[in-house]
């Protein structure tokens, strides 16, 4: 596989907003096939690291869906969408500034703790199984705009997750990957059992 040609092809597969915010970086030394660091709010770049030696062991469709899932996950991380947690973080920071100007150590500690708890909740919601499931569904929708059928795209992503686990030589699928695979099996029509609607 010619690396530059594959990067150009993958950029064509990506949605426009993905091309603007993410960047594909070759990282031959990494043990993972594809990886991305959790995007922090102050980082504008959201690189996706690919080991192209391992990447070439996957089929073209599996590579497409894996990339779309990773792009969807990176784009789906929202630090600044208006909700109660962001409001509490901002309120806590503002209160901390006011309390520090008044030299109130207890007030600063309470405001800082409030901000930290809310920031941790935002972090956890973006690192949850639900965010991965949402990224899977978003990737399938993008793949449908690229000519894949929904069931076909779900099946390719399912097989890609399983193939990556074998290529990376780990101890198998983790809990989140098992949940994702079960959901993808249901979407692909390979299983009548999906995940519960109330799962989060």
Which three-class secondary structure string do you get for 67-87? HHHHHHHHHHCCCCCCCHHHH
Query: 23: which DSSP letter?
Result: E
What are the counts of helices (DSSP H) followed by strands (DSSP E) for the chain?
A: 9, 3
What tens-digit pLDDT sequence spans the chain (200 residues)?
A: 789 999 999 999 999 988 888 999 999 999 999 999 888 777 778 999 999 999 999 999 999 999 999 999 998 876 666 666 666 666 676 777 777 777 777 777 776 776 777 777 766 666 678 888 999 999 999 999 999 999 999 999 999 999 999 999 877 888 889 999 999 999 998 877 766 665 55
Report how far residue 86's alpha carbon sits from residue 14's, in angstroms, rounded to the nearest whole number. 29
Question: What percent helix, strand, coil does the chain show, rounded to 5?
Answer: 65, 5, 30
167 neighbors 54 (Cβ within 8 angstroms): yes
Q: In what order do the strands lie in the sheet with 34-35?
A: 22-26, 46-50, 34-35
Distance of CA 124 to the CA centre of its chain: 13
User: In this structure, are residues 58 and 88 in contact, taking their beta carbons and an 8 Å threshold?
Assistant: no
**Model pTM above 0.85:** no
Q: Are strands 22-26 and 34-35 parallel, antiparallel or unpaired?
A: unpaired
Burial class (CB in 10 A: 0-12, 13-18, 19+), 123: middle
């Amino acid at each position: 596989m010619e690396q530059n040609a594959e990067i150009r092809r993958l950029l064509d597969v990506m949605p426009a907003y993905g091309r603007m915010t993410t960047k594909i970086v070759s990282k031959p030394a990494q043990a993972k096939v594809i990886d991305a660091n959790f995007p922090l709010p102050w980082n504008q770049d959201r690189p996706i690291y690919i080991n192209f030696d391992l990447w070439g062991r996957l089929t073209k469709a599996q590579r497409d869906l894996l990339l779309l899932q990773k792009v969807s996950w990176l784009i789906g991380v929202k630090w600044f969408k208006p909700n109660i947690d962001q409001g509490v973080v901002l309120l806590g920071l503002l209160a901390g500034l006011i309390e520090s100007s008044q030299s109130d150590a207890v007030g600063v500690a309470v405001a800082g703790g409030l901000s930290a708890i809310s920031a941790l909740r935002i972090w956890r919601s973006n690192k949850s199984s639900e965010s991965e499931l949402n990224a899977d569904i978003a990737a399938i929708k993008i793949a449908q705009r690229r000519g894949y059928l929904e069931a076909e795209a779900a099946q390719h992503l399912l097989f890609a997750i399983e193939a990556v686990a074998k290529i990376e030589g780990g101890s198998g699928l983790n809990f989140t990957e098992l949940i994702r695979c079960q959901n993808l099996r249901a979407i692909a029509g390979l299983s009548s059992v999906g995940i519960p609607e109330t799962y989060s």
